């Protein structure tokens, strides 16, 4: 036997078993969630500037949404866009025209409608500028009706057991269809005339 036969190589040593690794509780293995953004520096958007109740009352505008609807209808008849003629837009324009520019509030509603019916108008903000819509003759203001007469007619309408809104709506519709000014005095006069017809029937 050769020398090599007497040499026995030792068996391969076993591979070392990896020790069980336990996580160190002091070391965080998971990534923490991102911090919630702070809202302290953020402020809510400011509301659109609107005409207040007292200003609308001074302008004898009892229904701003209805005024916006009439304005949009006038724009549609002309084939013009209506996006700028919403109630909110009109509220801002009313404040600009009456409070900032000093135009007479009693003529505000009719002036807005006149601007809406003008093909050259692109925005209700045009009413804040000098124009024929502020001409009292164009607006059809009744100089013969004083505040006392107007108050008497409105008091009469107030005694109709809740029929006043419907009668005034009919009065506005008739005046609009006739192309007449739709203002506080004309609405009151027409509403009283409608009331007289109902009482005669």
Tokens of 36: 């919630």
Single residue among 95, 114, 139 that ends a domain in this structure: 139
* Residue 177 CB neighbour total at 10 angstroms: 8
Do 63 and 135 have their domain in common?
yes
Question: How high is the mean pLDDT of the chain?
Answer: 76
- Residues 6+ positions from 96 with CB-CB distance below 8 Å: 125, 128
Do 99 and 121 have their domain in common?
yes
Position 157 in a domain:
yes
Position 42 in a domain:
no
Do 134 and 155 have their domain in common?
no
How many domains does the chain contain in total? 2
Q: Alpha-carbon distance 43 to 65, whole Å?
A: 29
Position 7 in a domain:
no
If we measure between CA atoms, which residue out of 14, 60, 94 comes closest to residue 186? 60
Single residue among 110, 139, 168 that ends a domain in this structure: 139
Work out the average pLDDT over 28-42: 49
% the chain with pLDDT above 90: 25
Do 75 and 122 have their domain in common?
yes
Higher-confidence residue of 146 and 85: namely 85
Q: pLDDT of 155-174, one tens digit each?
A: 898 888 888 888 888 888 88
Helix (H) or strand (E) holding 148: helix 147-158
Rounded to two decimals, the pTM is 0.47
What residue numbers bound the domain in which 194 lies? 142-201
Phi, psi of 74 (to 5 degrees): -60, -40
Work out the average pLDDT over 72-90: 93
Position 25 in a domain:
no
Do 152 and 99 have their domain in common?
no
Higher-confidence residue of 100 and 137: namely 100
Do 70 and 131 have their domain in common?
yes
Do 117 and 169 have their domain in common?
no
Burial grade of 188 (CB within 10 A; 0-12, 13-18, 19 or more): buried
Q: pLDDT of 107-142, one tens digit each?
A: 899 899 999 999 899 999 999 998 888 875 444 445
54-58, 140-144, 146-150, 176-180, range with the lowest pLDDT: 140-144
The separation between the first and the last C-alpha atoms of the chain, rounded to the nearest angstrom, is 145
């Amino acid at each position: 036997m050769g020398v090599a036969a007497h040499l026995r190589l030792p068996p391969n040593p076993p591979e070392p078993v990896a020790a069980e690794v336990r996580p160190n509780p002091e070391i965080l293995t998971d990534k923490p969630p991102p911090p919630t953004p702070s809202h302290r520096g953020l402020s809510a958007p400011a509301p659109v500037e609107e005409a207040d109740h007292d200003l609308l009352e001074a302008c004898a505008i009892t229904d701003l949404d209805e005024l916006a609807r009439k304005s949009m209808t006038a724009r549609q008849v002309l084939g013009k866009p209506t996006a700028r003629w919403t109630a909110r837009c009109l509220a801002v324009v009313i404040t600009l025209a009456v409070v900032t520019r000093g135009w007479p509030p009693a003529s505000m509603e009719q002036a807005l409608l006149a601007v809406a019916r003008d093909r050259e108008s692109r925005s209700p903000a045009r009413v804040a500028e000098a124009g024929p819509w502020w001409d009292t003759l164009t607006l059809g203001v009744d100089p013969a009706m004083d505040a006392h007469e107007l108050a008497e007619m409105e008091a009469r309408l107030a005694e109709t057991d809740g029929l006043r809104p419907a009668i005034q709506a009919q009065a506005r519709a008739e005046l609009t269809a006739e192309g007449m000014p739709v203002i506080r005095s004309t609405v009151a006069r027409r509403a009283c005339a409608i009331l007289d017809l109902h009482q005669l029937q």
